[in-house]
Amino acid sequence: MEVERVQAIASLSVQLDNIPSEFIRSEHEQPGKTTFHGPIPEIPVIDLANKDGIVGAVTEAAKEWGLFQIVDHGIPVEVVKELQRVGSEFFELPQEEKEVYATEPATIEGYGTKLQKEDEGKKAWVDYLFHNIWPESSINYKFWPENPPNYRKANKEYAKHILEVMDEMLTSLSLGLGLEGHVFKEALGGEAIELLLKINYYPPCPRPDLALGVVAHTDMSAITLLVPNEVPGLQVFKDDHWFDAKYIPNAIIVHIGDQIEILSNGLYKSVLHRTTVNKEKVRMSWPVFCSPRDELVVGPLPQFVSEDSPAKYKTKKYKDYKYCKLNKLPQ
């Protein structure tokens, strides 16, 4: 096998009280040393059933935190549970069966272990599966597992519902800055916005105080809509501290990504976040990254650029932005 998967490393490490050195973060990153222990400010929770208050609540949370949780979002519980069930079962398959879906050089889609270049050659304690779920024209079914049998059906059903949530979030974010509701969505490509699903699989880790599942980053998408399993692990950086995000059953976690920060010329902030791991339990999450197509040009909207407020970001094709981000090059 060409790549050693973290799931395999974890099963070997379970007898030990240690992990391979390439997974041990430097001291300024270790969650055991850098997680805030004290009164934790409440990450906003927004009830989408309260139609009158949604725009104000979303706008305030997006400016203040860049991240919030939504409840009563309209996605049936059974649809989410089925998405999680088939995703979990995929990672329980024999290794050789998962390798059929391994990533290829020209794409990030597929089953993999390491995504970005890391300083000091460090590695994150995570395996993943990426594939597009919308629009139909962007889907490459070779990266959609055929086993478990209902995998494809569950993902198609979830895509249908998550599209509606995306529309509501983009509309609220537009209205909250005094724009017409359709402006952000249109600036991101309208019906051609791509939805990329990722399943993160974080195996149990003997030294969760030393390792990270995903290192500190902002998402390059416009927004990210994420459902976790019941094992907490998301941390948000705010006011110079790393705070744990509370697990809320049946909530969707909304991340503001880089493209919304760019379109708003910095009025909304892309959230810096990371993932910790658990000593006894598997943590999993299902983020959907809502992004423009590669060829779409994105820059600050003219409504937010003036003499007093010049453009803070370059206008460029999304594929060029992605290339710089993944290769840690200046934007």
Is it the case that residue 119 has pLDDT exceeding 70? no
Q: Catalytic: 217?
A: yes
Establish if 18 belongs to a structural domain.
Answer: yes
Q: Is the pLDDT of residue 121 over 80?
A: no
Is 273 assigned a catalytic role? yes
268 within domain boundaries: yes
Residue 306 CB contacts under 8 Å (≥ 6 apart), including other chains? none
Q: In the chain, how many domains are there?
A: 1
Which position among 73, 98, 185, 219 bears the catalytic label?
A: 219
Residue 115 has pLDDT above 70, yes or no: no
The 10s digit of each residue's pLDDT in 271-321 is 999 999 999 999 999 999 999 999 999 999 999 999 999 999 999 999 999
Residue 1 included in any domain: no
Q: Are 259 and 318 in contact (CB under 8 A)?
A: yes
Residue in 123, 198, 238, 269 annotated catalytic: 198
Examine residue 70 and state whether it is found in any structural domain, yes or no. Answer: no
240 is catalytic: no
Pairing of strands 45-47, 67-71: parallel
Q: Which residue has the higher pLDDT, 22 or 256?
A: 256
Residue type, 214: V
The answer to which of 87-91, 122-126, 188-192 has the lowest mean pLDDT is 122-126
**Distance in angstroms (rounded) separating the CA atoms of residues 225 and 194:** 13
Residue 124: inside a domain: yes
> pTM for the complete prediction?
0.95
Structure letter (DSSP) for residue 67: E
Query: Which residue out of 131, 238, 255, 273 is catalytically annotated?
Result: 273
Structural domain includes residue 62: no
pLDDT (tens digit per residue) in 133-171: 999 999 999 999 999 999 999 999 999 999 999 999 999
User: Is 169 domain-assigned?
Assistant: yes
Q: What tens digit of pLDDT does each residue of 179-208 get?
A: 999 999 999 999 999 999 999 999 999 999
Which DSSP string do the residues of 127-194 spell out, in sequence order?
Answer: EEEEEEEESGGG--GGGS---STTHHHHHHHHHHHHHHHHHHHHHHHHHTTTS-TTHHHHHTTGGG-E
Cβ distance 218 to 257 under 8 Å?
Answer: yes
> Does 1 have pLDDT greater than 60?
no
Write down the mean pLDDT value for the chain.
Answer: 94
Give domain status of residue 51, yes or no: no
User: Domain of 90?
Assistant: 6-38+75-241+252-326
Q: Which domain CATH number covers 197?
A: 2.60.120.330
pLDDT at 120 over 80: no
116 has a pLDDT exceeding 70: no
Flag whether pLDDT at 38 surpasses 90. no
The Cα 318–Cα 258 span in angstroms is: 11
